[in-house]
Each structure stands twice: as C-alpha cells, then as structure tokens.
Amino acid sequence: MSHESEPLTPHLRVHRERGNLVLAFHGEIDIIAALEITPFLDAATGRPGARVVLDLRHVEFFDCSGVRLLYRARRRVLARDGRLQLVCAHPLTLRILDVTGLAEVLPPLSTLDEALERSEAVSGSACESV
C-alpha cells in the first residue's frame, strides 16, 4: 500500500511502500533542488539497513547536481549495509546516468513495481517493518 505524503519540497515527495522508503524526485533537479533534497536524502540513507528507492520518473531536467545526489545516496546506503534501487525511464536522464557511469553501479529500473519486487526478493520473508 502506498502512502504518498505531501511534498517535502517542490522537488521531493516521500512515502513508504512494501518496506521501502520511496523518495520521488519531481521537476528540475538542479543545484537549488539538490540543496533542498539533501537533508531528506541524508535522513533516509543514514539508517543502518535502510531500504531506499529513488524514483526519477517525474524528473523533467537532471544535471550534475542530481548525479551527485545519487552517488551520495549510494555511498551512504552501502556504508550502512542498506539497499538502494533507482527507477528511471526518461531517455535523457538515462543517457546522463550512462555517460557518468552511474548506470553501471546503480542500474536503473523502469518501474517502481520492479524496484519494490527486487527489494522484496532480496529481503525474502524477513522484511523489516517500517
């Protein structure tokens, strides 16, 4: 069950779904948006064993500030034995992920359901309660 929250910033909505914290980025992810998103992203990725999905399906523009957000989230989650999934289907954003090499270390999935299913498969029946 999805529990979409009110936007935390014009560029971020957060909800819990199937034991994962889903951070849905919206609009233009540039340096200003990144500054707004960083505190929420750090809170989401700072817990040991965090299961986080970054959803870029609603992103219209994505620059190097957005790439830095994704690398930061990946580093923080991995350092705390967590799991990070990325959802992205926009061709231009996928191209940025590919050119920067981020797609190799954080392969984007095309749907939120696919990301949540993969997370459940890794977790098995011992899903943490959120």
Q: pLDDT-derived band of residue 127, with 50, 70 and 90 as boundaries?
A: very low
* Domain extent listing, the chain: 12-122
Average pLDDT along the chain: 90
Helix, strand, coil proportions of the chain in percent (round to 5)? 45, 30, 30
Residues 19-64: tens digit of each pLDDT: 999 999 999 999 999 999 999 999 999 999 999 999 999 999 999 9
Cβ-proximal residues to 6 (8 Å cutoff; 6+ apart), any chain:
13
Q: How far apart are alpha carbons 70 and 117 in whole angstroms?
A: 21
Q: How far apart are alpha carbons 49 and 79 in whole angstroms?
A: 9
Topology annotation, domain 12-122: Transcription Regulator spoIIAA (3.30.750)
Which phi and psi (to 5°) does residue 84 adopt? -125, 130
Q: How far apart are alpha carbons 114 and 108 in whole angstroms?
A: 10
